[in-house]
Amino acid sequence: MILNANERTFSPFSLTRLLTTCFGAGNGEKTCILIDLPDPADIQGFKFLDDETLSIQNYGHEVFYKGFKNGALEIMNWTGGDIFAYKETGGSNLDMEDACYDPDGQALSLDADIYPNYDIILVVSTFSATAPLTAKCKEFGFRGATLHGLNQIILDSGLSVDYDIVSDEAELLRLGLTEADRFEIDFEVEGSTYTLKLHTNGQRAQKSHGLCPPGKPDVANLPAGEVYFVPESADGVFPFKYDESTIGLLHVKDGMIFKSQFVYGDYAEIEAHNARLADDPMIGAIGELGFGTQVLPFSGRDIQDEKILGTIHVATGRDDHLGGNITPDLFKEHKNASHDDVLYAPHKTPEIRLPEARMIKNGETHVLIQNYKPAEYMVNLLEAGAVVEA
């Protein structure tokens, strides 16, 4: 066992408050938890709890599964609380294999045994399952949430906030950014400045706000708190941090990354990326532009850190779960059909400065972010909402 009662500070009260806020008052909904494992059969007898590398899945067991079994279900008027394991996908938002297992070691099917029989499904995983779970919820009619990369900082902060407030604040920023013509982001690395332009052409902004009320199938991504777009096109150059020692410049035309240019570090990584782009150009598709809306501590996990006000993320790959047209069938291989967020934040990319991000809307230019801090335009949007609420 990795965690103990002293380490797990997410109380049953916090659990019930989070889930009741996100999903609404309970009415007998049947719920379950899904976790991903290198070998999903290791859920038998909870064998995986002895593996120190599986701390995320341990949180799924300790916080959610045991929380449900220790009274949270009755408080929320839910039923079930079962836990199952599926094989880890190996990449962000890749489709999940259908096979899964229960703690008795019984082999089951997600499509036949899980999705049709549960009303609310929570996925606590290493790799994000938001895209595949969103597709499945529309097919089978359940609601759910994806909570990949959990750690104690996220439990104590991003999952302990009031999501009614998160939703309201995200809406203020969404209204201020919606129907923009394009966004321009300046990046500075090694003393040179590069600009990426993302064309939204009057598209309505969307928000990830954590609320998934009764009435329609939907999946929340928790922690939540962002305003995002599915760009219609993009062009320019932006830096990419491959690892702690390697930076490349990604060149974009017509919404696609077509080459990586070496800046410093391991040249082999640049060559490998270019080989992948040549083999399957769809991996270079720009699928999302997102702006964080919350004031939170950095957790070291992108799932929370991309929701922090002042950060920006640009995603590559599939975007069908966001309302886009980049679907898994467009990729040469299944393993390439991921959705990968590229986060720009002071703790994540200190080698890359973000002097300015701008929005062009109705012929006017508004500065949104300067040096990873919200500029006056974004601050005023939030403050105006606070004044109205007061």
Q: What is the DSSP string of 204-264?
A: PPEEE-S---TTS-EEEESS--EEEE--SEEEEEEEEEEETTEEEEEEEETTEEEEEEEEE
0.75 exceeded by pTM = yes
CA distances, 94 to each of 90, 99, 174, 211, 366 (Å): 8, 15, 28, 24, 36
Angle in degrees, 0-180, between the axes of helices 376-389 and 163-177, rounded to the nearest 10? 130
Helix (H) or strand (E) holding 383: helix 376-389
Helices (H), 45-103: 55-59, 66-67, 73-76
What number of other Cβ atoms are within 10 A of residue 330's Cβ? 16
CA dihedral 153, 340, 370, 305 (to 10 degrees): 0
Percent of the chain whose pLDDT exceeds 70: 96
Quote the strand ranges of 70-225, DSSP E: 79-87, 99-101, 107-109, 120-124, 143-146, 180-189, 192-203, 206-208, 218-221
State the pLDDT confidence band at 14, using cuts at 50, 70 and 90.
Answer: confident
Q: Containing H/E element for 381?
A: helix 376-389
pLDDT band at 11 (very low <50, low <70, confident <90, very high): confident
Which amino acid is it at 70?
N
Residue 376 has pLDDT above 70, yes or no: yes
| C-alpha dihedral, 296 to 31 to 144 to 93, nearest 10° | 90
Find the angle CA(181)-CA(187)-CA(189) to the nearest 5 degrees. Answer: 165
Type of residue numbered 92: S
Report the alpha-carbon distance of residue 390 to residue 387 in Å, rounded. Answer: 5
Confidence of residue 13 (pLDDT cuts 50, 70, 90): confident
- How long, in residues, is the chain? 390
Is pLDDT of 1 > 50? no
Tell me: the pLDDT tens digits for 88-129?
A: 999 999 999 999 999 999 999 999 999 999 999 999 999 999
Above pLDDT 90, what percent of the chain? 94
